[in-house]
Amino acid sequence: MDTQEYRSLVEGRMRTSGYEVRSSTPTGLLGYRKDFRMSWMATTLHLFVHVATTTTVTEPELAAFTAQALQHAKDTKGELRGLQSGVAVITAVVGEGSDEGAREYARHEIVRGYAAFAWPVVVDLGAAGRIAHEGRVALGGIYSSWMRAQIDAVVPEPRTL
């Protein structure tokens, strides 16, 4: 499977998982959904999924893409962020390979802002692996199991395909 085939697969999974696909190009993809849960202290969460393709995923590229995607989410749906509204972003960069810095960044970083956060994900098709945050989430932990479920739903492990 190459990056374009994987991107197409993610687009299909977004649609079947209730996302509105807002942009679809050969090198990028943007999906959106809004969810409300009483278990989130009666909060509405606006979730964006940004997907980009590249040859090799690098840490600077992943960090910049994640920052840009989080800013886009805040600009688009973040004007009323606060106690009962927030924005979240899954940023997935798909490549034929990835560097160690990108994998470590995805494994350990959640980028946070006021009532906003982004979970970077590396999809390394050459190694047939997906790398995302591992471990406990201190700030925003109330959303962690749901975010992991969303990553599983729309950004599948390549080795399972």
CA distance 52 to 58: 12
For residue 51, give the nearest of 69, 78, 77 by alpha carbon.
69
3-156 is classed in which CATH architecture? 3-Layer(aba) Sandwich (3.40)
CA distance 133 to 111: 11
What confidence tens digit (pLDDT) does each residue in 43-67 have?
Answer: 899 999 999 999 999 999 999 999 9
* Contact indicator for 127, 1 with CB cutoff of 8 Å: no
Domain boundaries, the chain: 3-156
What confidence tens digit (pLDDT) does each residue in 98-125 have?
Answer: 999 999 999 999 999 888 999 999 999 9
Question: Running DSSP on this structure, what letter comes out for residue 114?
Answer: T
Q: Please, which residues have CB within 8 angstroms of residue 149's CB and are 6 or more apart in sequence?
A: none
Residues 73-90 have a mean pLDDT of 85
* pLDDT exceeds cutoff 70 at 19: yes
